[in-house]
Amino acid sequence: MDDRRLDRRLPARRRIYDRVLRGIIWGCAALCILLVVSLIGYILIRGLPHVTLQLLTSQESYLNDTIGILPSILNTLYIIIAALVIVLPLGVGAAVYLNEYAKSGPLVRVIEFTTETLAGIPSIIYGLVGMMFFCQLLSLKTSLLSGALTLVIMILPTIVRTTQESLKTVPESYREGALGLGATKWYMIRTIILPSCVDGIVTGCILAIGRIVGESAALLFTAGMGLKLLGGFFTAMGGSGATLSVALYIYAMERGKFDVAFAVAAVLMLIVLIVNFAAKRLGRRLKNNQ
Amino acid sequence: MKAKQNEKNTSRWRQLRRSLRAASERVMNLLFFLCGILAIGCVALISVYMVISGLPAIREIGLTDFLFGQVWASTAKEPQFGILPFILTSVWGTVGATVIGVPIGLMTAVFLSKIASRRLADKIRPAIDLLAGIPSVVYGLIGVSVLVPAIAAFFDLPKGTSLFAAILVLSVMILPSIISVSETALTAVPPEYEEASLALGATRIETIFKVSIPAAKSGIAAGVVLGIGRAVGEAMAVMMVAGNVANMPTLFGSVTFLTTAISKEMSYSSGLQRQALFSIALILFLFIMLINILLNVLLKKNTKGGR
């Protein structure tokens, strides 16, 4: 680097300024990396030894004095499925509307502003509104369904944004070709546009799963804190149960069982790692296709 | 005769199909439009609920008593609902997290965009993204099991749950948003600016601090505002480390944030107490909306100025 040679000829004051700031920059970057590594390392080292088969495959039993997190795992899975099934058509539809139907105007600007706003609202407020609207007004009670519906509003912006990104990469010539051959707009969207942006939609889903898995404040008052097995998908939707994140909170703060909490944290961390990795891979594939 | 009949049938059939297709076209058009305005509906729903449920208690308590009352005793015989402690705690907590988080985040963004080689930056960036993916309860768990005892031991306090612990946890949590937004803004600075500065004899570092950062300032500000939004709205991690006593904020005292005031009492509240919690949510919501609008303005300025 020429910087070095230049460095020697600089007056002392500027040289010190340069050195000190360079040191600070490297220090801060190193601190961030150290933080990531130590956080993840600490969770895995403290948590993984407590992740046993018995913990993963049973529910809590007072008789045997054992703790199992199978109900929470199932609840998390159910909520992910329900939320995605509901949000996918809505989010993809909104993105298609913004990208294919709407002409840019005040309406589009308002829609984009509100979508941004939704992404910025803290989850505790989602929890409150979900509790008042879904649990009380629609009398769904504190149930997995209420929780899933609350999360639908929360992850809507994620799905809309990623789908929109990937709709923008579909070449204009595809649209012109299809319309030129006499296809109607809906036919074109169904057969040409949507299939070519599947990657983007899947990326959105993965990001949404990441958010759902990590969410706790919005679910505390909508999906509840139950730790019992709820049975099959449809019966479970009506019952109240804690997802993994909420279960972590319960075990750590209300029961003081930090070993279990760290085991749940380790499981959560593994899920987050997988989700991040999958999203990265897909994102790269999306870029290559462009 | 029969052939003619057949032809008539098919033509009628064709017509039916055409009108069916036109109808489905119109239906889909409507459906997509409805999906499009769903976001508006959601924001409207949230705003309306926040205002409707938040106003009654404020009206009953009185706006000044509510906002500037220093005592929160919701379950006392003569309940008092002053949320000044919560507001100040949220403000101080956010300020503290920003003071710690922004310099570190900005320097890391500088490192990623200007100093590190491309390969090194590509290795570090996913790690930072991972920081954003860690659930807030996990931050809270580490805070309560590592940070809180450490603070208690280091500063010789009876209990480590404090505003200070919350500030530290929050400053780590806002790092990813600050880093990624600032990095984007720094990368978008036109290279000519930097080349001109280097050609005039400034060193790399001088160029970064006197040219690149000022040129990217509105983008960096957007990152900071995004971080502030996250810090104000965070509930679970803070609830686990802040101690949740309704004190006026002191650095090493047990405190309650706006968010934790809601989540702590919501499950067993009733009557005026419950309504007051909704009023707290309204105040929090107003804070967040202000931050959102500010963020929007900054981002718009950034896309205009970047070109």
Q: What is the ipTM of this complex?
A: 0.88
Q: Quick one: pLDDT at residue A289?
A: 63
Q: How far apart are CA B175 and CA B103, in angstroms?
A: 10
Q: Which of residues 35-54 of B touch A (CB under 8 A)?
A: 35-40, 42-43, 45-46, 49-50, 53
Nearest neighbour of B104 by CB, restricted to A10, A31, A265: A31
pTM, to two decimals:
0.88
CATH label of the domain that carries residue A75: 1.10.3720.10
Residues in chain B with CB shorter than 8 Å from the CB of A160 are: 39
Residue in chain B closest to A46 (alpha carbons) equals B142
Residues A137 and A8 in one domain: no
Tell me if A249 and B140 make a contact (CB, 8 A cut-off).
yes
Tell me if A14 and B206 make a contact (CB, 8 A cut-off).
yes
Token duo for residue B90? 């949220």
Q: Quick one: pLDDT at residue A287?
A: 65
Nearest neighbour of A97 by CB, restricted to B33, B111, B259: B33
Residue in chain B closest to A137 (alpha carbons) equals B49
The minimum CA-CA distance between A69 and chain B, rounded to whole Å, is 16
The answer to whether B20 faces chain A, any CB pair under 8 Å, is no
The minimum CA-CA distance between B136 and chain A, rounded to whole Å, is 7
Residues A17 and A133 in one domain: no
Tell me if A26 and B111 make a contact (CB, 8 A cut-off).
yes
The answer to whether B151 faces chain A, any CB pair under 8 Å, is no
Instruction: Output Rg (C-alpha) for chain A, integer angstroms.
Output: 24
Q: Quick one: pLDDT at residue B196?
A: 93
Among A129, A184, A284, pick the best mutation site for testing chain B contact (most B Cβ within 10 A): A129
Residues B285 and B164 in one domain: yes
- Asked, for residue B66, whether it belongs to a domain, the answer is no
Residues B36 and B163 in one domain: no
Structural domain of B202: 72-306
- Asked, for residue B103, whether it belongs to a domain, the answer is yes
Residues B83 and B220 in one domain: yes
Residues B170 and B213 in one domain: yes
Tell me if B108 and A28 make a contact (CB, 8 A cut-off).
yes
Residues in chain A with CB shorter than 8 Å from the CB of B259 are: 122, 124, 217
Residue at token pair 């919005």: A218
Residues A42 and A186 in one domain: no
CATH label of the domain that carries residue B243: 1.10.3720.10
Residues A285 and A215 in one domain: yes
Residues in chain B with CB shorter than 8 Å from the CB of A185 are: 25, 28-29
Residues B29 and B109 in one domain: no
Quote helix, strand, coil % in chain A, to nearest 5: 80, 0, 20
Residues in chain A with CB shorter than 8 Å from the CB of B266 are: 128, 221
Candidates B190, B232, B221, B186; CA nearest to B298 is B221
Residues A129 and A259 in one domain: yes
Give me the DSSP letters along chain B.
-HHHHHHHHHHHHHHHHHHHHHHHHHHHHHHHHHHHHHHHHHHHHHHHHHHHHHHHHHHHH-HHHHHH---EETTSSS-EE--HHHHHHHHHHHHHHHHHHHHHHHHHHHIIIIIS-HHHHHHHHHHHHHHHHS-HHHHHHHIIIIIHHHHHHHTT-S---SHHHHHHHHHHHHHHHHHHHHHHHHHTS-HHHHHHHHHTT--HHHHIIIIIHHHTHHHHHHHHHHHHHHHHH--HHHHHHSB---PPP-TTS-B--HHHHHHHHGGG--HHHHHHHHHHHHHHHHHHHHHHHHHHHHHHHHHHHH-
Given a contact cutoff of 8 angstroms between Cβ atoms, the answer to whether B55 and A117 are in contact is no
Burial class (CB in 10 A: 0-12, 13-18, 19+), B29: middle
Residues B55 and B87 in one domain: no
- Asked, for residue B45, whether it belongs to a domain, the answer is yes
The minimum CA-CA distance between A81 and chain B, rounded to whole Å, is 19
Determine phi and psi for A195, rounding to 5 degrees.
-60, -30
Alpha carbon separation from B181 to B187, B235, B303 (Å, rounded): 10, 23, 13
Q: Which of residues 80-139 of B touch A (CB under 8 A)?
A: 103-105, 107-108, 110-112, 115-116, 124, 126-131, 133-138
Candidates A22, A163, A143; CA nearest to A91 is A163
**How many cross-chain Cβ pairs, A to B, lie less than 8 Å apart?**
252
* Structural domain count of chain B: 2
Residues B21 and B146 in one domain: no
* Structural domain count of chain A: 2
- Give, for A35, the enclosing helix (H) or strand (E): helix A12-47
Residues in chain B with CB shorter than 8 Å from the CB of A115 are: 39
Residues B14 and B160 in one domain: no
Residues in chain A with CB shorter than 8 Å from the CB of B278 are: 128
Residues B163 and B24 in one domain: no
Q: Quick one: pLDDT at residue A5?
A: 56
Residues in chain B with CB shorter than 8 Å from the CB of A22 are: 115, 205
- Asked, for residue B65, whether it belongs to a domain, the answer is no
Residues B149 and B280 in one domain: yes
Q: pLDDT tens track of chain A, all 290 residues?
A: 445 555 667 788 888 888 899 999 999 999 999 999 999 999 999 999 988 888 888 888 777 777 888 989 999 999 999 999 999 999 999 999 998 888 778 888 888 888 888 888 999 999 999 998 988 888 888 889 999 999 999 999 999 988 988 888 888 898 899 989 988 888 899 888 888 888 888 888 988 999 999 999 899 889 888 888 887 888 878 888 889 999 999 998 888 888 899 999 999 999 999 988 888 888 777 666 65
Residues A34 and A131 in one domain: no
- Asked, for residue B64, whether it belongs to a domain, the answer is no
Q: Quick one: pLDDT at residue A86?
A: 94
Residues B127 and B234 in one domain: yes
Structural domain of A94: 55-289
Residues in chain A with CB shorter than 8 Å from the CB of B204 are: 3
Residues in chain B with CB shorter than 8 Å from the CB of A40 are: 130, 134
Residues in chain B with CB shorter than 8 Å from the CB of A154 are: none
pLDDT-flagged residues of chain B (< 70): 1-3, 302-307
Nearest neighbour of B235 by CB, restricted to A29, A156, A217: A217
Residues A40 and A62 in one domain: no
- Asked, for residue B67, whether it belongs to a domain, the answer is no
What angle do the packed helices A123-130 and A144-168 form, to 10 degrees?
A: 130
Given a contact cutoff of 8 angstroms between Cβ atoms, the answer to whether A211 and A158 are in contact is yes
Residues B210 and B274 in one domain: yes
Nearest neighbour of B126 by CB, restricted to A40, A97, A280: A280
Residue in chain A closest to B227 (alpha carbons) equals A120
Find all residues with CB under 8 Å of B134, minimum gap 6, and list them: A39, A40, A214, A269, A272
Residues A87 and A18 in one domain: no
Tell me if A214 and B135 make a contact (CB, 8 A cut-off).
yes
Nearest neighbour of B128 by CB, restricted to A36, A127, A186: A36
Q: Quick one: pLDDT at residue B302?
A: 65
Residues A281 and A175 in one domain: yes
Residues in chain B with CB shorter than 8 Å from the CB of A90 are: 35, 38
Burial letters for B185-223: b for 16+ Cβ neighbours within 10 Å, e otherwise?
Answer: bbebbeeeebeebbeeebbbbbbbbebbbebbbbbbbbb
Q: How far is CA B223 from the centre of its chain?
A: 11
Tell me if A265 and B203 make a contact (CB, 8 A cut-off).
no
How many helices (H) does chain A have, and how many strands (E)? 15, 2
Given a contact cutoff of 8 angstroms between Cβ atoms, the answer to whether A82 and B194 are in contact is no
